[in-house]
Amino acid sequence: MFHNLTKWLMALALIAPTMQVVYAATPSSAACSPLLSHTFPRLQDEAPQNLCQYQGKVILVVNTASFCGFTSQYEGLEKLYAKYKDRGLLVLGFPSNDFGQQEPGSNKEIADFCKNTYDVKFPMFAKSVVSGNNPNPLFKMLIAKTGTTPKWNFYKYLIDRNGNVVDSFGSMTKPSSSSISSEIEKLLGEKI
């Protein structure tokens, strides 16, 4: 067995430089926007997810909560995602207990609620802090770049295909709002 392992390692050493050249030439190795250069645990199983995988998409980032007057916006967010996902829109949900303690559950409880109540299919991440003195790194950058912090649950930030924040929308702005959809339409039509 040791002999086979040695032969395998020698063969790998011979092809490794070639593999590196091929990897460096692939489009997926393009530089990631600093805004997306963060890793967060996925809500359903807490598997780490690097946001760089979404580079080139138009992204609507939303802080969510299960027990809020705006919770029904999950339905609108899912409709928006379904309508535009094939053209390059991605909705990213970040549950947070920052406002009114309206997201007290565990990640599993939140995931079950999102699936069972609204059949959420867009990516959701583990519960985190999105405001105050220590927001998660993505929200810290979103706040710095826009000069606006989430005022409540279901605050929305819109990011273009190049990873730049282009707008933010308050909780009162529904996902079905023409102000959101017209901006998304415009961004989806732009080239990277």
Is residue 52 part of the annotated active site? The answer reads: no
Closest CA to 140 of 48, 70, 38: 38
Say if CB 157 and CB 168 are below 8 A apart: yes
What secondary structure does DSSP assign to 112-160, as a single string?
A: HHHHHHH---S-BB-----STTS--HHHHHHHHHHS----STT-EEEE-
H or E, element range at 43? none
Considering the candidates 32, 52, 68, 114, report the single residue annotated as catalytic.
68
Which amino acids are annotated catalytic? 68
